[in-house]
Every structure is written in C-alpha cells, then in structure tokens.
C-alpha cells in the first residue's frame, strides 16, 4: 500500500499507463491518484473506443497538466467557494 502523495514521476507513469488502458476502452479506476478532471478526460477516451480522437487524447494531456501545475485544484476550490457563498446568501435571504 502506498503512503502519502505520489511523486510527479509516479503520477506521470500512472497517467501513461491509464491512457494506454483507456485507449483500449477500459474506464479509469478512482484510486489511481489522478484527479477528477484527468479521470473524466481519460474516461471520455475509453467511452469513445475504438473511435477516440487525437483531440480527446490532447484534452486528457491538458487535464493532466492541470493536475501537475495545480490549476485543476485551484478551479475546484474557486467553484467550491462560490457554491458556499451562494448557499450562505440563500440561507440569509430565507431568514
């Protein structure tokens, strides 16, 4: 069992393995260490099998780059914060 966060090299290796698997039509397991945007992009490839386009592959690589540079997590935090603010505003109006 792996402990802690995977290294960038481990993530890169996992991404390449999962990309190859998705290219054969296999959906991505959640416990790969890959984030949701990356898994979603890879699953789009698996679902398109055997007709996955190069565009889908490039989208998965872009999503993975977002995981590595932190932009996927930043977008998730921004969206989460926005939802919390909206919910707080709704609750305040209903009082």
pLDDT in tens, the chain (95 residues): 557 889 999 999 999 999 999 999 999 999 999 999 999 999 999 999 999 999 999 999 999 999 999 999 999 999 999 999 999 999 989 88
**Whole-angstrom Cα distance, residue 55 to residue 30?**
23
Which pTM does this prediction carry?
A: 0.84
Contact 43, 59 (CB under 8 A): no
**Whole-angstrom Cα distance, residue 16 to residue 36?**
16
Q: DSSP secondary-structure letter at 4?
A: S
Domains of the chain, by residue range, sit at 8-94
Q: What is the structure's pLDDT at 54? A: 98
Contact 6, 14 (CB under 8 A): yes
Q: Which two tokens stand for residue 9?
A: 């090299």
Q: What is the structure's pLDDT at 3? A: 72
């Amino acid at each position: 069992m792996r402990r802690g966060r995977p290294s960038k090299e481990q993530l890169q290796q996992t991404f390449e393995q999962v990309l190859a698997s998705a290219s054969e039509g296999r959906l991505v397991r959640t416990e790969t260490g890959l984030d949701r945007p990356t898994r979603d992009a890879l699953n789009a490839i698996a679902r398109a099998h055997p007709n996955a386009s190069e565009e889908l592959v490039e989208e998965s690589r872009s999503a993975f780059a977002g995981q590595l540079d932190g932009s996927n997590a930043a977008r998730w935090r921004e969206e989460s914060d926005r939802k919390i603010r909206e919910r707080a505003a709704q609750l305040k109006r209903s009082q």
